[in-house]
Structure 1
Amino acid sequence: MSELYQQLLIPFQYDYMVRAILSTALIGSVCGFLSAFVTLKGWSLMGDALSHAVVPGVAVAYILGLPFAVGAFVAGLMAAGKMAFVKAKSRIREDATIGIVFTTFFAAGLLLISLYPARVDLRTILLGNILGISNPDMIQVLAISVVTLCVLGLKWRDLMLFCFDANQARALGLRTGWLHVLLLSLLAATAVAALQAVGSCLVVAMLVTPGATAYLLTDRFSRMLGLSSLLGLLSSVLGTYASYYLNGSTGGCIVSLQTLLFIGAFFWSPKHGFVHARRMVKQHQIES
């Protein structure tokens, strides 16, 4: 038993694993918390768009020697502004607008990376490299996570009402335009933090899956926030830990674990699961 216990503690003997686990714990909890709002608002596609739109910002930051978080955040806000402008000034549907803008930004990022291949690692941007996270990058992740959690903790009720019914929020005197910008900014900042862990290709999973899973498990939004954060935290830590023994992609392990949790909730949720729904249908047929 003691030998098995020692084997399980091996990952914690390496500094890079400790840094990775601590970083993903922060990123996972923040993504999980924000995921509840993304799910309620129906912004899954927006999360996907921003996670890809930050790529040119990361490329420019690396080329200029700036912190990658600065370039990524600016690019994310620019993409969000472009989407809002095109939607307001044209007849194009929102989904088409999002598709056009985020693919344009993503293409610009790939172009920059191809022009400066020695300075920018495409694999790191697309797939993440949490095991190689440096101390300055950890500080960036910590700062983004703390600020995002503080803002969400202070404004979660207003954001909840805005996500649930923007018209009602406006009627109650809330500044819905400001809340819209705030939520987009938080989404962009969180996508930047998660980029380091799972890369731009999988950021959307961390921003959607925990909230979708929690949505199946409870009908109260306050509980949904707690469950979503907990699911994001646990799946990130356990996925990073498992990647050591599997010798596989850390981001792939994290997102695969989140998907397994979602599948479990989808089938066996006490009130909204597939099995419960089938049981209720059969019971109704018998009573009829």
Structure 2
Amino acid sequence: MSFHEVDCHWFEVSGALTAPIHPRHRVGLPALQCGCRAFPLRQPVSWSMEEFPLIAARPGRQVSAAFGYGGVDGVPDCRDGVTPIGAGTMARAVGAARRSGGHTQGVQVMEMPKPGPAHQKLELFAGDWSGEEKMHPSEWDPQGGTATASMNSRVVCDGFYVAGDYEQRRDGAVTFRGHSVLGIDPQSQEVVLHWFDSMGMGVNEFRGKFQGDKIALSFQSPMGWHRVSYDFGEKNAMRFRMDMSADQKQWKTMLEGVYRKKA
């Protein structure tokens, strides 16, 4: 049986995992086996049942957790001696704990986080947008030109994220598609933009902070620094610019766009 590497990104209503867990996934018939990269816990946490230990951690320790889905329930593919359990088993344990006021059979249930003002600020991106774009000449587009674009962005995961789908058209044909997920890093309070597109080059992770109704987010790749800027200063309008730089000192504008939100 042959196996292939799969990149998986998980976002949830707790808002705790704004950066994706990059698992090592082995895909083959008939099951998907997932081994998630460990992530640090700042506080001691113990989620367990007598016969189903899930996570046992000390402050700062690297731990792994396993969640079995469908045919992979019970596959021993995690580290630190953590026993994989089914999603149904975990849901039953958590439900029982909540019904009993927070504790039962060794399960500890923490109060779920709630979105804050930083998450609410992300709602500026939500809505149906359309507009025109100008591509500046570059090594990817020597002639440059114009295009039309549309974006549908919506609040997801109970207010913790804004997910969007983007489509660019030139001469009446779709030339580029993208998908974005915006969230807040709980530690740094930075806005984090995860970007996936039809170039198929993997996920890009941009970071930045709002300055009023403007925000610039950047990330570094082997090609240099990339920066995307959004300006919501005009009601129901979004001005966008994408720049690149080799040293973060001299920037070259690659694309500019102005989009209007549908009523």
Report the structure, 1 or 2, having the larger strand content.
Answer: 2
TM-score if structure 2 supplies the norm length?
Answer: 0.25
User: Which fold has the larger relative contact order, with Cα–Cα distance below 8 Å and residues 6 or more apart in sequence?
Assistant: 1
TM-score relative to the length of structure 1: 0.24
Report the structure, 1 or 2, having the larger helix content. Answer: 1
Larger Rg: 2
